[in-house]
Structure 1
Amino acid sequence: MELTLLGTGAPAGLPRPGCTCAGCATAVGADARAATALLVDGVLLLDLTPGPALAAARAGRTLHGVRQVLLSHPHDGPAREVPAGLPAPVRVPDGRELALLDGHRVRAVALDTPGTGYEITGPDGERLLYLPPGAAPAGLVGPFGGTARETGSGRGTAASPAPYAPYALVVLDVLGRPDALARLRAAGAVGPTTDVLAVHVDHDVPPGSELRRRLAAAGARTVPDGTTLLVGDYRAVPDLPRRTLVLGGARSGKSVEAERRLAAFPDVLYVATGGTRDGDAEWASRVAAHRERRPASWRTVETRDLAPLLTEPDAPPILIDCLSLWLTDAMDRVGAWDDERWRSGTARRALADRVGELVAAFRAATRTVVAVGNEVGSGVVPATASGRRFRDELGRLNAAVAAECEHVLLVTAGTALPLRG
C-alpha cells in the first residue's frame, strides 16, 4: 500500500496566514506545510488540502483514479476545493466499514472529539490508522473481525471487534494529542515496529531540529509535504533512550520537558520526592499545579526510596521529580547539614553510601527513566557552609547520574539543549 502525503500541516497550514509568531516565521521551504491530506494508492483521498490537484502533481501523482474522498473532521475555514471529476466528499458513520472495488477496506473509528478516524487495510493486508487533528480514539476495538461486507463507495456493514494487532503505520496529531499515542500503545495498536508519523503540524513547536527532537522523544517522526511512503516498508523506529536526565535552573521548564518526554506513553509512574509540608500553602499550590499537568492515566507515588523503583523489572516508564529534593532528604537523614558531623567524616561517608546506592540503581535500571535535577553550579555562591555543601554535593550527584544516562538535557528559558544523546 502506497501513501502520499499531499499536506502534513494543521488545518490552517503552516505558516498560518497573518501570524507573526516565531514558529510561523521560520516555517519556510521544506518546513512550510499545507493542511494534511492523504492519498492512498491513488484511489482513496483522506481530507482535502488547498489545491489538491496541484499538490498531487507536485508529488508526482494524479487524482484521476480517486474513487472515494473521505473527510475526517469539521471544517470552519473557506469552502473546500473539490476538483472536477472527484466523488463528493463524505464521512463514514462511526464503526461502519467500506469495501472498495480495488480491494481496500476502510473502517470508521469513533473519536473523543467531533470527527472520524479511519483504519485502512490495503489489498496486501497492510494496515494504517489515520486520526484528524486534536483527536484520540474514543474506544479502542480490534481491526476487521470477519463480518460480511457490501462492496461499494457509500454503504457498508458494522464492524465486529477483534483482538488488536499493531498497525504498520499510524498517522496522527502527535504534538497536539500525545495521549492518543499513549492510548494506542496501551491497546497494542502501536508496537515496537509501528511507524508513527506526525501530521497536523502547527506553529506550537519551532520547525527543524526542535520539531524532530520532540517527535523522536515520542517515538515518532514527520516528513515534508509530497512525500510518498510504502506502508509496512521497514523503517528504523526512533531509538528511545532508556535513561534521561533533565537538568535546569528554577522555572527553566525542566519539569515540563520531562513530562513531555513521556506524554505519549501509557502507565507512567510519577515519583514525587518532595513530600508534603504542613502549613505551607505556597508549596501545596506548586504540588497541585504539577498534578493538574500530568495525564490522568499516570500514577503518582511520593517517596524518596528510589532504588527499588529504578530496578523493578518489566515495569512501565518512571519519571522522578526531582533529584535535588532527594538529596535534601538524604542530607537530612545522615545529618550532613551539621558542620561538626561533616568535618568528622561520619555524615560524609553516610551520604556517599546513599548516593552510591542511587547511582548503582540508575546503572541497573531496565525500565525507561526520566529524572529531573536542579543545575545550581552557575548561580550565586551560598552564604553558609551548609549551603555550599549542598551545592557541591548536588553537582556531584548530577554528574554521577548523568554518567549512567544515555541522554542528558539542559533546559534554560524553556529551551532544551541536548548535552548527550
Structure 2
Amino acid sequence: MELTLLGTGAPAGLPRPGCPCAACATAARARARAATALLVDGVLLLDLTPGPALAAARAGSSLHGVRQVLLSHSPEGPREGPAPEVPAGLPAPVRVPDGRRLTLISGHRVRAVALDAPGTGYEIGGPDGERLLYLPPGAGPSDLPSDGSRTPYALVLMDVLGRPDALARLRAAGAVGPTTDVLAVHIDHDVPPGAELHRRLAAAGARTEPDGATVVVGDYRAVPDLPRRTLVLGGARSGKSAEAERRLAAFPDVLYVATGGGRDGDREWAARVAAHRERRPPSWRTAETCDLVPLLTAENAPPVLVDCLALWLTDAMDRAGAWDDDRWRSGEAPRALAGRTGALVAAFRAASRTVVAVSNEVGSGVVPATAAGRRFRDELGRLNAAVAAECEHVLLVTAGTAQPLRG
C-alpha cells in the first residue's frame, strides 16, 4: 500500500488560525501542517479536510480515483468551524459503525475499530496483505487484549503526543511490534516543531513526516533507536521528572522506583508524592526502595524509571555514616560510601533493561554552609558523572527545556 499524507496536523491545523503561541509562530512554511487526511493507493480517502483537492495536488496526487471516503468523526467535529465541502466527483463521506467490515473493489479491506474516545478508528488491509491502523486525535482502541496476542501492524498512524498511553497499550497487546512504523499525525501546538518535536517522538519510538509525503506501507524503515540507559539531570522544579516520565509514557509495564520513601507526618512531602502518582499512567507499577542493583540488572524485564539518584545518595550516606565528620575524616565512611556507589555504577553498566534515571544537578549556586552539605554536593556531582559515563543518553533540563548532552 502507498499512503500519501495530505495533512498531518491537529483538526485546526498548525499553526492554529490567530494563535499567538511560540509553537504556532515557528510553524511556518515546511513546518506548517494541515488537518490530518490520508490517501491510500489513490482510491481510499481517510478523513475529509478543507481543500482536499488542493492538498492532493500539492502532494503530486489526484482525488479522481477515490472510490471511498471514510470519516473518523462526525462531519461537524472534532475540527473547528463548518464541515468541509465534498469536492465534485467524490463519493459521499461515511463513518462506518464500530466492528463493521468493508471490502472495496480495489481489494482493500476495512474494519472499523471501536475507540475509548469519540470517533472511529480504521484498520486497513491492502491487496498485498500489509495492514495499517489509523486512529483519530485523542483516541486509542477500546478492545485490545493485554497478552501480546495481536499480530503487529506494519504501520500505525495516531496521536502519539496526545495519547502515549494508547501507544503503550498497543505495544502491550502486540499490535505494535519492533518493526512497526509508528507515524505521528494530528500534531498540535503543544510541542514546538523542529528538533524538539522529533526528539519527543523518537523517545516514544515514533516519527513524523511533513504534509505531502508518501509512505510505502511495509517498506523497511529504521525504527528510532531507543537508548538503553538515559540520565535526566536538572535543578529543583526544572521539569526533569516530567521529562523522564514522558520518555517512557508510550511503553507498557513500566516500573517506577521511588527512592525517597515515605515521611511520616510531612504533609508537604505527601503532596509531592501524590502529584507524581497522579501524572503517571495507571498501568505503571511503583516500588519504594533504594535497593537498585537487583532492579537494574534484572533480565528480560520491562523499562524502569528511577527517581531519583539524589535521594538514593542520601540513603547511601545515611547507611555509610557519611554525615559524621569524625567517621568521614577517619576514612571509614568514604570507603563504605564508595562501595555502595561503585556497585550502583556497575549495575548501570550491566543493565540489560531500559533504564531512565533522574538526578539533581547541584553545585551551580549557593555553597552549602555546612561541611556535611558540601560533602553531599561533591558526592552527588561525582555520582552523576559516573552514572552519566555509563549512559547512552544524557539530558539536562533547564526551565522545562531538555538539552541533550549526549546521544
TM range, normalised to the smaller chain? over 0.9
Which secondary structure state, in structure 1, belongs to the residue aligned with residue 62 of structure 2? coil
Q: Residues 344-363 of structure 1 correspond to what in structure 2 (within 5 A)?
A: 344-363=330-349
| Sequence identity percentage | 85
Name 2:381's counterpart in structure 1. Answer: 395
Does residue 299 of the first structure (1) align with residue 275 of the second (2)?
no
> Which residue of structure 2 lines up, in the alignment, with residue 152 of structure 1?
none
Which of 194, 203, 216 is the aligned partner of 2:180? 194
- Deviating beyond 2 angstroms after TM superposition, the runs of 4 or more aligned structure 1 residues are none
Deviations 1:186-233 (A, max 9, x none): 000111111000000000000000000000000000000000010000
C-alpha contact 2:395 2:402 (8 A) present in aligned 1: yes
Task: Supply the AA of the counterpart residue of 1:31.
Answer: R
> What is the deviation of 1:50?
1.6
CA distance in 1, matches of 2:45, 2:149: 27
Q: Report whether the alignment pairs 1:96 with 2:82.
A: no
Task: Name which of 196, 207, 217 aligns with 1:210.
Answer: 196
Aligned-residue offset at 1:406:
0.1
Partner of 1:156: none
1:133 counterpart letter in structure 2:
P
Q: Deviations over 1:70-106 (max 9, x none)?
A: 0002415212221111111111111110000110000
Distance verdict in 2 for CA 1:342–1:257, change over 3 Å: same
> Which residue of 234, 254, 265 maps to 1:248?
234
Q: What is the distance in 2 between the residues matched to 1:79 and 1:231?
A: 30
TM (normalized to structure 1)?
Answer: 0.94
Separation of aligned partners in 2, 1:309 and 1:379? 33
Secondary structure of the 2:10 match is: coil
Task: Determine which of 201, 226, 238 is the counterpart of 2:224.
Answer: 238
Deviations 1:56-75 (A, max 9, x none): 01101000110100000241
CA distance in 2, matches of 1:119, 1:377: 53
The secondary structure found in structure 2 opposite 1:132 is coil
User: For 1:405, which of 367, 391, 398 is the aligned residue?
Assistant: 391
Distance in 1 (alpha carbons) for counterparts of 2:349 and 2:158: 35
Which of residues 370, 374, 381 is equivalent to 1:384?
A: 370
Structure 2 residue runs of 5 or longer lacking an equivalent are none
1:16-39 alpha-carbon deviations (Å, 9 max, x no partner): 011000000000111100000000
Q: CA RMSD in A?
A: 1.1
SS of residue in 2 equivalent to 1:61: coil
Partner deviation per Cα, 1:233-277 (whole Å, 9 max, x = no partner):
011000000000000000000000000000000000000000110
- 2: distance between equivalents of 1:79 and 1:121? 28
Q: What does 1:247-266 correspond to in 2, within 5 Å?
A: 247-266=233-252
Pairing partner for 1:284 from 255, 270, 281? 270
- Where do 5+ consecutive residues of structure 1 fail to align? 143-161
Amino acid at match of 2:322: A
Shift of residue 387, structure 1, vs aligned partner: 0.1
| 2:132 is equivalent to residue 128 of structure 1 | yes
Q: 1:113 aligns with which of 113, 117, 122?
A: 117
Deviation string 1:388-413 (CA, Å, 9 cap, x unpaired) is 00000000000000000000000000
SS in 2 for 1:240: coil
TM-score (norm 2): 0.98
1:61 paired residue number: 61
Structure 1 SS opposite 2:124: strand
Task: Report the CA distance between 1:141 and its aligned residue.
Answer: 6.0
The answer to whether the Cα contact below 8 Å between 2:8 and 2:185 also exists between their aligned partners in 1 is: yes
3-state SS of 1:246 partner: strand
Q: State the SS of the aligned residue for 1:387.
A: helix
CA offset at residue 163 of structure 1? 4.9
In the aligned structure 2, how far is the partner of 1:114 from the partner of 1:287? 33
SS in structure 2 at match of 1:6: strand
Matched, 1:372 2:353: no
